[in-house]
Amino acid sequence: LKLTKRRDNLEAKHRELDCAKLRKDLEVTDDIVNSETKLHALFLKWLSYFNKPHFVDFDVEDEKAFKMRFEIFKRTARFINEENKSGSFTYGLNQFAVMTRAEYARRSGEWLMRSSIRFC
C-alpha cells in the first residue's frame, strides 16, 4: 500500500511537471500572434506534442492539409490570446487547436469515453 501511494504521488508530480512544461512551451503572446514566423514555430512545437493518432493525426508532408491545419491553429492562437487578455480564466493550446468545429463536435463524445488520455 505504501509503495502504491508513493508511486501514485511520483506519477502525479511527473504529470504536473509535464503540464507546466507544455503550458510554457505552448504559451501564446501578442508577440507570437503578431508574427507569422513565430506562429509557424509555435505550430511546429504544437505538432511535436499533439500530432498523434489519438489526437489529430494528419500527414505533415501533405501541403494542403498542413496549410489548412496551420490556418485553424492561427485562428485558435489569436482567439486564446484575446480571451486571456479579457478574463480571469486562462486558455491554452491543446489537442483540439487544429480541429474544425465539425471535427470537434464529432470527436468530443469520443474524448469523454477515453479515460486513458490525460489532459493538462
pLDDT in tens, the chain (120 residues): 555 555 555 455 445 558 888 889 999 999 999 999 999 999 999 998 888 766 676 788 889 999 999 999 999 999 999 999 987 888 999 988 999 888 888 777 655 444 444 555
Rg (CA), the chain: 16
Domain membership flag for residue 120: no
Q: What is the pLDDT of residue 98?
A: 93
Q: What is the pLDDT of residue 11?
A: 53
Query: pTM here?
Result: 0.74
Domain membership flag for residue 8: yes
The conformation of residue 94, written as its DSSP 8-state character, comes to -
Q: What is the pLDDT of residue 95?
A: 87
For 58, the 3-state DSSP assignment is: coil
Q: Which domain holds residue 56?
A: 2-113
Domain membership flag for residue 118: no
Q: What is the pLDDT of residue 113?
A: 46
3-state secondary structure 32-84: HHCCHHHHHHHHHHHHHHHCCCCCCCCCCCCHHHHHHHHHHHHHHHHHHHHHH
Domain membership flag for residue 41: yes
The grid coordinates listed for 74 are 492561427
Tell me the C-alpha distance between 118 and 93, whole Å: 15
Q: What is the pLDDT of residue 29?
A: 96
How many structural domains comprise the chain? 1
CATH code for the domain of 20: 1.10.287.2250
